[in-house]
Structure 1
């Protein structure tokens, strides 16, 4: 393999308006760098400050460099006729082509190999594929970052590492990757063929875990061999359900079984208190609310009695969490300990929503439909899927990078009831979803999420296995998830995407035309079916036009500058309503025809000539059915259902995307009837359930009042083992302006200056929590350059990457600053000196203008109570406690919380926030004094951490 790997540094992103500052290139022959080329280029304009800070290239370094006209001939001579490689090849190639033309030369070939795209294909589980991230993950040494020659060398080494990784794939997969790459890049196809040529003849490492069937290679699902677990392990000494509390405590108390099998285990007072309360609930058949502070060890405190109940009663226990991180912790950290504790006889399963699992049949079908006219990104996404299938353990979306396979591609290959052919599928036996479901049916503990739990309630318990008891961790999210899942929503973009999937290009492509073409030559196809499918393409287009008009009419009600509008009965008097009804009425005839076609296809599948034909028919019926259900759901917007609130939302920029939502105003009655009345044992736990020491708010909110009145509800608040009074400082600058009354740009200027001083005082290690995405972005824009000059990179959510990407970057660069919005207020674990300063920009009150909030406040007012004191304040206090909890994660942690919202100390309700933090009292002083106190408080901690790190590095 012979390539020239190129990297350039530029003054900006526009190949027409911006200049090249530096060019680096290396010659790579058979995996070895044999020659190098590097030069600065004299720009025609000043270097922007942010580019100088990023690259380290100053005007003094380039003012005497050769001009572009002198550089281009030398570079083209170095490249010759050899294929070009670059990380983000389209960017480098566009600049080089444009500058070559300006100098009167021509860059020989537009094709080449892009290591960014190759990284997405061959490392589909990594959440980022930037050069610096891939280099770190693949242990590639770098001499510098954002310098042309160093980046070219790193890219060359990356290409070699990717080849080594690819050679571990089955030959059949590599061959298919080469064929698919040929659809958009002959040079990339040649690279894959060269990889195949380099595969050792005896290369079988790891491939014993891969199955090849019907043209597809995939891992053996994790459920393989699960039945063997039934006979493993010793039996527990028999005991009754009534004995669970005592028996559970005996396992975890000093000298108990857990201390004997777990090195370094120390019983925790709070954990044992919680264990007793949960054990009591299981033993007595009662519900329980248990608030357990950070560091309590609450997962083991409920898993042990839950496992004992499941083993003793023969009824499985479902454990529901809100975050994937907690699910992973239970499965990977806690369950192995439980297995040892119970002699290997315990069975656990993790069950997710069906659409989180991949459908192997759809992957095979979709990859076979790709052609030269398919978008390159779609082809690469399917290539990523083929690689991922050889790596994934459970076939779920969570461990697949969105940059490798975006959501619109995943929807084409996700497992769905509507498009499942069951036992006619060639992949039925190894199907990831059915294996997970079978494992869950035989498990003692079934770990799931709140979303699936609510879907199970909505589907009358047909989603999860039948269970006898339920543990809800992160229970402060239950009302929010119930509100979302017990309602409905329909999105204009989703319906348009489904219509495009059904038919496009005037009926030339899509599921329906492709099925029509397939059935044309089938001898078993009943008369008239092909004609109906061809006519259906016209019907779909007609209905979609009506949908677009209907969404536009209802969307016109959203005021300018707003994102949502509540649909009350009064909207039926508007012109928008009349236009909405008229548009949908015009679609009734084609809708009726499509409904009949769906029924015909459902009958047709029974007589399909082959399993593959059956799959194509079921796909068409399933996609059509999902789309039709969405259309009917939109039409139901005109219905005024009691106890429900309906609203329309607008998203997007110049081209708006609309969605219509329905949600229950009050979920407490539904939860009581569907969850707490049928079950005798439901345990709800979280670090934040009480407000001012009372559970009244969450009891009303979740429908537990009847259980409490009947004496069926236990409650306990278990204190955190952390000493917040000595480990943390809560600071409120007295001279902070009222940011809410300022324009976003003005507020960001003040906030940026203050955060810069804070970051200097704490040497980075700072997380700022925002309640406004606009404020976050404005502040990030202002603060980025000053922070960079101070040697502290900034990572802002949805500006510099996803939540997972910026979290990892923050962890890997200690002296850095991170900005997060809603999802960062909880579920972030940064112990030790990773985080020492937490900023809460504003108290986290929910916007009172949201339609659901409005409707709930109206109901509270009708009952004669105050919406603020009964709802807004308790909800904000819980959120505030979650945000504060990001700071202190271990007994050794030390840090400060700075709140830029004086309402914490100036308003009467501020005491509710302060009293929710045990042992912490606010320090109120001018900003200058606050900074001095922070430096003094953190100084010894930072020096101690510095010495610890130095000792570790030298040992």
Structure 2
């Protein structure tokens, strides 16, 4: 007998609380209200094995614990007690240790506070059934080590490495008996050329290397990078595009440094501050811990804090399912997402995870970063990590996009209001932002009028930035309270007047010229207001710097750190954006000559969320952002390897030289004095036998219901293992709503980005662990996701991923297309389709099906795919998908 909904709820009420995995997801699947009481194994896993990652499903937990993953739901249910037993045994192994004492104190506290379901079992496993509650268990900073400043590292040597040495290092990493891949060794030899000594200032050794999927490029570049770092005593920065890729790269480095302690010493992950747990936030959230619902997630976060390797709470070793299970109310406040870090004034400064990582990176061999951090640091003139000499840019086809974001500026309500909050602190509402005066008050007391005068002038001038409730005034068109709000209102009016159409739902853009008189006048007044803020901030910086310059012998080290931190914050949070904004406002009044190629592209923008105006302003981007990338980052470096599986565009009938020139244009290589070294290694996979590709001809992509029906039919035909890729979040959510119930009824769980409250890394972990699940996503799921095996055997694009038609894209289409704007769009779409196809086959035994649900897809876009798609009806695509993948699952061979 199969129970449903209310029947399940009544049956559960007659029995003790159940053991399960992921209570909210289980309740949704059973169509019952959320569990009031249960033994959730995710809670026990996070408590017993903090900082250990596992997909939040029975199969995921089984795999993480070394148990055989169950195939059927009944087997999974039967395995739950064994999982619980194994976790409790792991706790029992910590008896009579400091870690066990901490766990016992935390469990006793949870028992006393919320009567946690697992508390008695945990205490029994630890042999401490009568342990006393201790709130100190919630204060993990007491047990964290403090960082210490070391002497600056010596200057690096400039020894080169040979291809023979690189191949030998690669063989050592792979180990005896590993599969020999000649293409991987050839690729490593080519990558080694980026690590030769630089001969001329401003002319780095640059290698562009395209490595087909399956080449093994990650270990291929780790070999020369690690060899150079060891030989020359300086780190190599390995940059990827996403946090998920950073984690994958870090896992690959276990091949080079299998010992965890050595890997921690040799490898450092670097991300922006907003990715790390802020100890001060944790302490303050705990101080507000009044709701019982917040106790358990804070306890698990505290347990994690003393075990984490990097302190990375977004995409690191923090359980990504915590937000979905406990909500964003607690976890969302733990990282410093609003730039409220008070640096050396923080009581936890010497234990701060970010400060630890910065110092460790200076002495590491390999630093695993992401393009956004690397680019932003270059835009800031070096950043806290200094300027590395050697880089590897994996997923190098994204350099253009990453540079586009880093080397840009915006005068918006959010940006300007954020500066006001940084200067004035919290003006009501829930925030611990202390404002500039509170952050440097001890420096002010010791410096006298030289600091006090400009400080007070700056705080007064900050009133010209958007004040509390500025969004409401802007959306309702009520009176602006200062020059910035007046400018935003004028910009909003011009956008509404010039936009070709407005459905009231989505954001709008408008060209700056011709400029409305009201925008010109409010822009002039805003420039005056910003000047009144910029001048005292400059004087404040000069006054603080004079304290360092005039009496350095009288300064304690801690005082010097505080002064330098304050100066750096004023420059980066205040003076740099103010200079950019004033430059934009002055440039706004200069009317460009029609038809001329602009250096920068400016436009006005109105941002909406859920049909409500939430921001407005002016944006400025480089027409070609690889120019500042080449000038500020690549040019000063000594060597760079830029690599990807899709560096070149495979346009129909294009010659090799044209393909390489396009790659050089997208990576900035053409702006460097020394020509790039080119290398290409083909994929070893047999795509003709391992894949099938279809363009479906009878689905109306404009009708979401038809797209949903097609995707459901294809997912059922594959028996799961399907990844659906979308170009719009709204359509993704609607399709997820329509197909999740029928798929689940057939035993195929569906997960979706922007629907499930898990980070992308955790969603991919679940998709990988649950072999017959399906996943819906956008760009982040298309780029760099590594899911080998049957877990990904079907890829479905809902439509051709054309670039979004924006003003910025229009200008680039005109001026960067070489006189062929249509080809510019084609190249972007071809690249995205190739990237998606590349997710399908990750190993020699993989098989997969590629489907595009867009009858109007031009054949020229398919030139970049390794197989030529056939145009078929949906019925034919479903039948052939089922036949091909059934053959794969039963071990047959493709025709």
Q: How does 1:383-782 map to 2 (within 5 A)?
A: 385-398=301-314, 399=316, 400=318, 401=320, 403=323, 414=336, 419-420=341-342, 422=344, 427-489=348-410, 492-493=413-414, 511-512=433-434, 539=463, 543-544=467-468, 545=470, 546=482, 547=484, 550-556=487-493, 557=495, 559=499, 560-561=502-503, 563-566=506-509, 568-570=511-513, 572-575=515-518, 578=521, 626=573, 637-640=584-587, 643-647=599-603, 648-658=605-615, 660=617, 661-692=619-650, 693=656, 694-705=659-670, 712-737=675-700, 739=701, 742=702, 747-782=703-738
The residue aligned with 2:822 is: 868
The Cα of 1:308 is off from its aligned counterpart by: 2.8
The yes-or-no answer on 1:836 pairing with 2:754 is no
Q: 1:133 to 1:674 in 2, by over 3 A?
A: same
The Cα of 1:865 is off from its aligned counterpart by: 0.5
The yes-or-no answer on 1:249 pairing with 2:167 is yes
Q: Aligned equivalents of 2:9 and 2:635: distance in 1?
A: 70
Deviations along 1:577-622, one digit per CA (max 9) or x if unpaired, are 555666787898799899999999999999999999x999999996
Q: Aligned equivalents of 1:725 and 1:579: distance in 2?
A: 62
The residue aligned with 1:290 is: 209
Please provide the CA RMSD for this pair: 6.0
**Across the two proteins, how many residue pairs are aligned to each other?**
804
Deviations along 1:341-366, one digit per CA (max 9) or x if unpaired, are xx9999443333344344545644x3
The Cα of 1:412 is off from its aligned counterpart by: 7.2
Deviations along 1:841-864, one digit per CA (max 9) or x if unpaired, are 2222211x2232122123247xx6
Deviations along 1:851-905, one digit per CA (max 9) or x if unpaired, are 32122123247xx611221x2222222211110011111110112111222344x
Residue in structure 2 matching 1:276, options 186, 189, 213: 189
The residue aligned with 1:799 is: 755
Q: Aligned equivalents of 2:773 and 2:196: distance in 1?
A: 49
The yes-or-no answer on 1:926 pairing with 2:873 is yes
The Cα of 1:733 is off from its aligned counterpart by: 2.8
Q: Does the aligned pair in 2 maintain the 1:475–1:685 contact within 8 Å?
A: yes
Q: Aligned equivalents of 1:717 and 1:922: distance in 2?
A: 24
The Cα of 1:812 is off from its aligned counterpart by: 3.9
Q: 1:564 to 1:281 in 2, by over 3 A?
A: same
Q: Aligned equivalents of 2:228 and 2:413: distance in 1?
A: 47
Q: 1:515 to 1:608 in 2, by over 3 A?
A: farther
Q: 1:459 to 1:174 in 2, by over 3 A?
A: farther
Q: 1:831 to 1:20 in 2, by over 3 A?
A: closer
Q: Aligned equivalents of 2:486 and 2:121: distance in 1?
A: 53
Q: Secondary structure at the match of 1:898?
A: strand
Q: Which runs of 5+ in 1 are unaligned?
A: 1-7, 12-18, 35-49, 58-85, 93-111, 205-210, 231-238, 947-955
Deviations along 1:737-767, one digit per CA (max 9) or x if unpaired, are 4x2xx3xxxx222222222332232222221
Deviations along 1:427-449, one digit per CA (max 9) or x if unpaired, are 45444333322322223333322
Provide the TM-score with structure 2 as the length reference. 0.72
Q: Secondary structure at the match of 1:656?
A: strand
The residue aligned with 2:247 is: 328
Q: Aligned equivalents of 2:517 and 2:295: distance in 1?
A: 46
The Cα of 1:391 is off from its aligned counterpart by: 2.4
The residue aligned with 1:891 is: 844
Q: Does the aligned pair in 2 maintain the 1:425–1:615 contact within 8 Å?
A: no
Q: Aligned equivalents of 1:589 and 1:315: distance in 2?
A: 44
Q: Aligned equivalents of 2:671 and 2:124: distance in 1?
A: 68
Deviations along 1:668-725, one digit per CA (max 9) or x if unpaired, are 3223333443344221110111122522212122222255x85x32212211111001
Q: 1:412 to 1:534 in 2, by over 3 A?
A: farther
Deviations along 1:431-474, one digit per CA (max 9) or x if unpaired, are 43333223222233333221122123212234434433322111
Provide the TM-score with structure 1 as the length reference. 0.68
Q: Aligned equivalents of 2:221 and 2:308: distance in 1?
A: 30
Q: Secondary structure at the match of 2:742?
A: helix
Q: Secondary structure at the match of 1:332?
A: helix
The Cα of 1:244 is off from its aligned counterpart by: 0.8
Residue in structure 2 matching 1:217, options 142, 147, 153: 142
Residue range with higher mean Cα deviation, 772-781 or 598-607: 598-607
Q: Aligned equivalents of 2:711 and 2:181: distance in 1?
A: 38
Deviations along 1:755-809, one digit per CA (max 9) or x if unpaired, are 2332232222221211122222222232233323333232222123433344344
Q: Aligned equivalents of 1:800 and 1:585: distance in 2?
A: 46
Residue range with higher mean Cα deviation, 884-893 or 669-678: 669-678
Q: Aligned equivalents of 2:738 and 2:118: distance in 1?
A: 48
Q: 1:853 to 1:807 in 2, by over 3 A?
A: same
Q: Aligned equivalents of 2:115 and 2:886: distance in 1?
A: 57
Q: Which runs of 5+ in 2 are unaligned?
A: 20-24, 130-135, 199-204, 471-481, 589-597, 651-655
